[in-house]
Amino acid sequence: MAAITPKVPISFLLHHLIFLLFLLPHQQNILTLAAAAPGKWNLLLSNIGVSAMHMQLLNTDRVVIFDLTDFGPSNISLANNKCRNNPNDLTLKIDCTAHSVEYDVASNSIRPLTVQTNVWCSSGAAMPDGSLLQTGGFNDGFRNARIYRPCNDNSCDWQEFNTVLTQGRWYATNHILPDGRQIIIGGRGQFNYEFYPKRNGADQSFNLPFLAQTNDPRIENNLYPFVFLNVDGNLFIFANNRGILFDYVNGVVVKNYPTIPGGDPRSYPSSGSAVLLPLRNLQGGANITSEFLVCGGAPKGSFTTRVMGDMVLLPNGNVLIINGASAGTSGWELGRNPVLAPVIYRPNNPVGQRFETQRSSSIPRMYHSTAVLLRDGRVLVSGSNAHAYYNFTGVLFPTDLTMEAFSPDYLDPRFARVRPIITSPASRSRIGYGQQLNINFIIREKINRDLITVTMVSPPFTTHSFSMNQRLLVLTNGTSSNVTQLGRSNYRVRVMTPGSGILVPSGYYLLFVVYRDIPSQGIWVQIK
């Protein structure tokens, strides 16, 4: 394992002002622009039965989706005419409907799953073996953990572990750690963190005064903190309007970063979003730098900025900002003016030329909507429910059960001839740390070998406009690429896998070969 002792020049790129230029005040403008804007929308399913408040892509190319259990009956029955009999349910004690479903990308179909206790506004992340660990929720689910082990034969369902967390975790954030455990940070009224699985079954929670310092008790605007594992092994934690670098092993704040210019909150309920921008120069030792991008948010008083946008890292290293509204905040009935047009942010373009407006959807994706990247490069979009129940009529933004896919322009058929096709390794291969990896691929057209890029992307857990555990690594790009031509259309690119679990915690990642910004379909690799 290569030792990495980086200096850590973290800069916040605050593009909320530039971003305002893309908020179009009139519906008419949106439509005019949409005609010329890139990208494509497809309605995949008109009714998935639940509203997609939380989503996680699994290494089976299936997506686990759930909302919450105390919503009353959903629109999908539990399998085999089962009913959930839960005296603690706040709305419906005998509930024969499902509040979690599994979406199978290949067959474009849904099947119901069973969560026993309330998973409302909870958190999660994939584990090294590819299972989803979900923690917390509300009411009887407050201190529970649940595991979903992916399967290909429709046999898997949630496994639930009661009262295993030290604290109740509602609106907390999870992140996977290099040792395979997860850290669970904050939650309503919780100015502390804990780990799961527990060591020896029993480690406690630890105070994090930063969460008390950033908490405005009137609006609790530091929930779902933005958490990223930094390249030096510390955690970058952002809540409300500022960030810290945190040594979670010793419980020490290593660095305080200045308040965001203007000082307005960026985390829930003023929900902006954040990503760790692509990590590059992975062999650069102390020269690896990390940059965090925070977009949107809502001023304390009058609300004029994009809120509840989801930020999705695309295989070519660009950032898609999708869903949300241009007025109001997160919370029941509080959002207004849906932003129907996604935006692509290109971190490598000159300042001023980084944002590009995409084609609009016709479906508002307000509070409790989500977006995740699929292996084929599309972005799955679903959810939107600003109400305390399933309300389909008589409300401003009815509960939405549709599922759409947004296809960035790179999926356009006109790029078919330059789209790489990975032929080996096989999907779901295991790879090690700091090793040479040969990737064979086909491109049908004569190519410029200097323009081959290889990226590796984690499948994050997405809820409330934040994708926990989202990271993208650029394994090679540009003239440094070591590409050999093997045959007429066959090539091999040799890369070094990342050197440590600090850069990429063990687990399943999507690996893409990208040519001139056009990604292949991904393959799953498990790094161990």
Ligand X SMILES: *[C@@H]1O[C@H](CO)[C@@H](O)[C@H](O)[C@H]1NC(C)=O
Q: Could you give the 3-state DSSP secondary structure of residue 98?
A: coil
* Pairing mode, strands 12-14 and 292-295: parallel
Cα–Cα distance measured from residue 501 to residue 458, given in angstroms and rounded to the nearest whole number:
13
Classify residue 521 by burial, with Cβ atoms within 10 Å: 0-12, 13-18, 19+.
middle
| 206 forms part of the interface with ligand X (CB under 6 A) | no
331 touches ligand X (CB under 6 A): no
Nearer to ligand X, 299 or 425 (CB): 425
Q: What is the DSSP string of 43-94?
A: EEES--SS--SEEEE-TTSEEEEE--STTS--SSBPGGG--EE-TT-SS-SE
Helix (H) or strand (E) holding 526: strand 523-527
Contact segment (CB under 6 A) with ligand X among 6-14, 106-114, 366-374, 477-485 equals 477-485
Out of 169, 175, 181, 387, which residue is the one contacting ligand X (CB under 6 A)? Answer: 387
Contact flag: residue 457 with ligand X (CB under 6 A) = no
Stretch that binds ligand X, among 200-208, 230-238, 255-263, 386-394 (CB under 6 A): 386-394
CB-wise, 64 or 493, nearer to ligand X? 493
Selected from 20, 43, 395, 426, the binder of ligand X by CB under 6 A is 395
438 by DSSP, 3-state: which?
strand
Tokens of 13: 């790129």
Smallest distance from ligand X to CB 448, Å: 11
Residue 494 as a binder of ligand X (CB under 6 A): the answer is: yes
Q: Which residue of the chain is nearest ligand X when measured via CB?
A: 317
234 binds ligand X (CB under 6 A): no
- Residue that has been written with the tokens 């900025």 in this structure: 305
User: Contacting ligand X (CB under 6 A), which of 278, 297, 309, 459?
Assistant: 278
Q: Sort residue 139 into left (φ over 0), alpha (ψ -120 to 50) or beta.
A: left
Q: How far apart are CA 64 and CA 60, in angstroms?
A: 11
Q: Which residues in 285-314 contact ligand X (CB under 6 A)?
A: 285, 287
CB of 358 to ligand X, least distance (A): 17
Contact stretch for ligand X (CB under 6 A) within 101-109, 472-480, 504-512, 520-528: 472-480
| Cis ω before 9 (30° cut-off from 0) | no
Q: Which one of residues 27, 206, 478, 528 is an interface residue with ligand X (CB under 6 A)? A: 478
Indicate whether 97 belongs to the interface with ligand X (CB under 6 A): yes
In the complex, the residues that contact ligand X under the rule CB under 6 A are 73, 75-77, 97, 278, 284-285, 287, 316-317, 348, 387, 389, 391, 394-395, 453, 455, 474, 477-478, 482, 494
